Amino acid sequence: MRIGKMLIAGLVCGTLFLNGCGKDVSTDEFVINNSNNMAETETNAEDNESSAKTEYIGTLTHGVNWAADEKDYFFTYEGGALEIPYTTTGSGICTSVGFLVYMNGIPQPYMIKDTEEEYKYMHTIEGDENQDVGFTISFIPVTGKAGDKVSLRIDSIANPSFIPDMVNTFDYGMSHQTLEANYEILFQKDAKTMPEVDDGLCLLKTVCTQSTEIDKDEMEYMTGEAKPDLDTSVYADLKIDGDSMLLDRKSDVSGKDKVHVAYIMMGHPGMKYRVCFYLNHQLLTDESGEVCELELATGKMNTLEFDMDVSQVTDASFYAVAVPVNAEDYPDDPISTMKFPSIHLYGGKN
């Protein structure tokens, strides 16, 4: 998906429409699958007919502010910090939006220029209803050498501060939906060493990956079909202590020191993904600090699993993001970053 070639205007962007009708909403480049188990209290529904009508939730547009004379629609890195002029416009719940940045699938910490905030993996931008908010994303690339052309993916998280309170709201509804913009960076010089970032949580233990034959029952549960398209589509599931989070996206961690997490992918043979995990939008790592990669293959399901320390967790959002690293090898297939729906970890030790 090459956003720079999509529009002739100076702003290159994607648009996310959030409605409570539980159907696919498409734009030129983006398809967002809206959940139809949205909490009524979040939409101020007055009755139980929310699934039968469209409820306004919000809209989101974000993208690069290209210069008026820009023709190539990619960035050139010539050393130092790279600055990305950016704009977001939101309404409804999307007046508050967080941004995650990835370089070739690797999480990229960044700063917002001319603010006092330090390098972080996510910054939240607050705006007014339907008003453009301009800002500059600044960072030293975590990867890239002279001659490389590296994918830059900028993914938004709608209404990132929202967490179900388990009294009036029991799921995330349309909050934490994502919208992606994809660009390229041509490196004229090697990237310098990134400064250390104190924004990650080392909570993962005994991380491992395995590839096994596809289990038919598991496949049908993950895909909802007996004969799904595993040639061009990609499917994922996330389990906590053996329980799938596909439908019930909450887990009681009361009294637990750790939980066992298994992230499963299957589908499009040859596709490679780097998979990242977040707790309250902070990147989770093990002691190595490396990002795990999964490569999909015909007839195989890949599992990435680990133990996660939840001894201090009382109320948190937990999710996985799988970022493609070789999408350019399959230009005819609709490949984009996959965020697993946010899971509410609640309870904790009292």
Q: What is the pTM of this model?
A: 0.86
As for how many domains the chain has, the answer is: 2
List the pLDDT tens digit at each of the 350 positions of the chain: 333 222 222 334 456 666 433 322 222 222 233 322 222 223 333 444 444 456 778 999 999 999 887 778 899 999 999 999 999 999 999 999 999 999 999 999 999 999 988 999 999 999 999 999 999 999 999 999 999 999 999 999 999 999 999 899 999 999 999 999 999 999 999 998 888 888 889 999 999 999 999 999 999 999 999 999 999 999 999 999 999 999 999 999 999 999 999 999 999 999 999 999 999 999 999 988 889 999 999 999 999 999 999 999 999 999 999 999 999 999 999 899 999 999 999 986 54
- Spatial CA neighbour of 92 closest among 53, 135, 133, 42: 42
Same-domain check for residues 140 and 254? no
Same-domain check for residues 207 and 154? no
φ and ψ at residue 169, rounded to 5 degrees: -130, 140
Same-domain check for residues 75 and 135? yes
Same-domain check for residues 183 and 237? no
Question: Given 187, 220, 250, which residue is the final one in a domain?
Answer: 187
Same-domain check for residues 172 and 318? no
Same-domain check for residues 271 and 123? no
Task: Provide the token pair at 123.
Answer: 């910054």
Whether 156 and 62 have beta carbons less than 8 Å apart is answered as yes
In a domain, 276, yes or no: yes
Same-domain check for residues 44 and 143? yes
In a domain, 265, yes or no: yes
What residues make up the domain containing 57?
Answer: 3-187
Question: Given 161, 187, 213, which residue is the final one in a domain?
Answer: 187
